[in-house]
Structure formats: C-alpha cells, structure tokens
C-alpha cells in the first residue's frame, strides 16, 4: 500500500511539472534609450521593422542594426486600472511656447531616466492622460489618467526619423 501511495505521489508531481506554465522573461534592454545633447536615441542592435504607426501590422521597411536612431516621440502601453492603455510622451516641441518646452523636457527626462526597459516599468512622475491609441486620433476621448507611480509597461514604441520620414519601431516587453 505504501508503494502504491508513493508511486501515485511521484506520478502526480510529474504531471504538475509537465503541465506547469512556463516562465516568461519580462523586459527587453534593447528598448533602452539614452540622451546625448538634449536628443533621445535608441540603439538598434538587431534588425527592426518600421511601421507607419503602432496599430499598423504592416511593415513599411526595416532599420538595420548597429546604429543609434533619434527618438522623436514615445508611447507606452501600460497596465492601468482601466485595462491596457497608452501613455504618450511627445519628445519634441510643437511650438515655441515655454510651457510646451518645459513639458517636452519633462517627457525626455521621464523616457530617459524613468523608463526601465529591462524591468518593463515606467516611473510616471506627474499626472498623465491615458489614451486608447498610441497616436492621436481626430475624435478621441480621454478614458482616464494615471497619477505618479511606477507602472508595468507591455509595449514601448518610438517614433524615429528615417530616410522614409518618421516611422515607428516597437518592443514587446510583457
């Protein structure tokens, strides 16, 4: 009887090991950005596909590795209390307005120092709007806001300058 119980216990443990969900890695250090002379860059280490916007699955072209690309804008898909929503961080000035200039500098700092690609987290330093899409739409509402906190990032997308004009590259982090 003891052998039967021991055999059953071993069998049950082996099934647990076989059907246990596999662990998945979080983060991707290739999504890291760095700042040089007030300009944000992402170092491309593998061939990345270029898209017209983050919601487009169509690949427009590719950017080759071993180069630094200028990051113009960034968008992060985060886990929020409203589900998966986007935080947009414009990285360049739209006008010469002092307030917008200050906001752009805050955004650059948040992307450069607040985003941890290896851990897939973003430290939100001030209250930010949440959006349904990464790129502004004409008739879009704001589904909510996120207050200062560290949030989990699912995807990081950067609008970069290319020979084809501005295109987007993305990183799946979770």
Tens-place pLDDT, residues 28-68: 888 888 888 878 888 999 999 999 999 888 999 999 998 99
pTM for this predicted structure: 0.77
Nearest to 106 by CA among 81, 128, 136: 128
Are the C-beta atoms of residues 33 and 71 closer than 8 Å to each other? yes
- For the residues 109-120, what does the mean pLDDT come to? 78
Q: What is the DSSP string of 11-32?
A: HHHHHHHHHSPPP-----GGG-
The structural domains of the chain, with segments of one domain joined by +, span 26-172
Check: CB of residue 74 under 8 Å from CB of residue 109: no
């Amino acid at each position: 009887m003891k052998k039967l119980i021991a055999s059953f216990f071993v069998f049950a443990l082996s099934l647990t090991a076989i059907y246990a969900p596999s662990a998945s890695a979080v983060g991707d250090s290739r999504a890291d950005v760095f700042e040089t002379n007030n300009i944000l860059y992402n170092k491309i280490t593998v061939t990345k596909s270029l898209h017209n916007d983050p919601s487009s699955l169509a690949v427009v072209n590719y950017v080759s590795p071993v180069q630094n690309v200028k990051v113009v804008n960034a968008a992060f898909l985060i886990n929020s209390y409203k589900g998966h929503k986007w935080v947009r961080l414009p990285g360049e000035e739209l006008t010469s307005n002092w307030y917008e200039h200050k906001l752009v500098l805050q955004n650059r700092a948040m992307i450069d120092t607040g985003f941890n690609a290896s851990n897939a987290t973003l430290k939100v330093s001030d209250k930010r709007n949440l959006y349904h899409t990464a790129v502004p739409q004409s008739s879009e509402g704001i589904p909510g806001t996120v207050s200062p906190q560290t949030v989990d990032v699912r995807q990081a997308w950067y609008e970069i300058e290319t020979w084809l004009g501005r295109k987007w590259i993305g990183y799946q982090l979770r």
